[in-house]
Amino acid sequence: MRVGSILRAASWAVLVAGPAAAWAKPQGWSSLNQSLNHLSGGTAPWNIMVLLTLLTLLPALLLSMTPFVRLLVVFHFLRQALGTQTTPSNQTLIGLALLLTYFLMQPVGVAIQQQALVPFENNQVSALEAVALGAGPLRHFMLKYTREKDLGLFLELAKQPRPGRPEDVPMRIVAPAYLLSELHAGFQIGAALFLPFLVIDLVVAAVTTSVGMLQLPPVVISTPLKILLFVMVDGWNLLVGSLMRSFS
């Protein structure tokens, strides 16, 4: 991907209050300059400052408004359940979570591209109108996987009445409620992953204790057995497939 495309995607990710626009179709340096000139009046130092600020906020938005949180939590639970400590490495798990996040968020990015970015680049809408248009697809995606209980919590904390339509829910309510729901879902899946491996640990510990193998830690025997079971059932395929289907 070209440098101009990356910078342009980063700027629009923050403008629509979410990183989904980072998966939109690249347009290059001209689109980025045009967008920043609309916002800052064409001053080069101000453009650089705005761009650096957008790039700084992008990782936080990526973590909080995409499936990245659920995926990464489940992968870390799996590693703990297998007892492999640092295998796969954090970089590997983060990379896999990012790729799967791109796969899931690409349709949302395309919708933002068509509804907000293209009209703004064609001077058909203002910057504020483009932000409102671009936030629509992202809000729809997050509300689809947000529990009503979590939305009600933040509506109560914000002292706001329940809106009549999903489009009326402000992003400051949707974003934290979505993140809380994703953490809940990730821990649920992680707990389910732990159960079969916990059974193996208990069986191995009971057998080694009953035969008097007190000098050999049970984890030395249970870890290869858990890895072998995971490989035999094609665990990565089953896990990733289940995670992807949970967002369908």
Which tokens hold the place of 55?
């790039």
Task: Assess contact for 49 and 78: CB atoms under 8 A.
Answer: no
**Per-residue model confidence as pLDDT tens digits over 201-213:** 888 888 887 877 7
Q: Report in angstroms the alpha-carbon separations of 19 from 16, 61, 65, 66, 121.
A: 8, 6, 7, 7, 19
Residue 146 predicted with pLDDT over 60 = yes
Under a CB-based contact definition with an 8 Å cutoff, are residues 78 and 193 in contact?
yes
Q: What is the pLDDT of residues 154-212, one digit of tens each?
A: 888 888 888 877 777 888 888 889 999 999 999 999 888 888 888 888 888 888 878 77
Question: How far is Cα 230 from Cα 238, in angstroms, rounded to an integer?
Answer: 10
153/162 Cα distance (integer angstroms): 11
In angstroms, rounded to a whole number, what is the distance separating the alpha carbons of residues 234 and 128?
A: 48
Axis crossing angle, helix 127-144 with helix 171-210, rounded to the nearest 10? 30
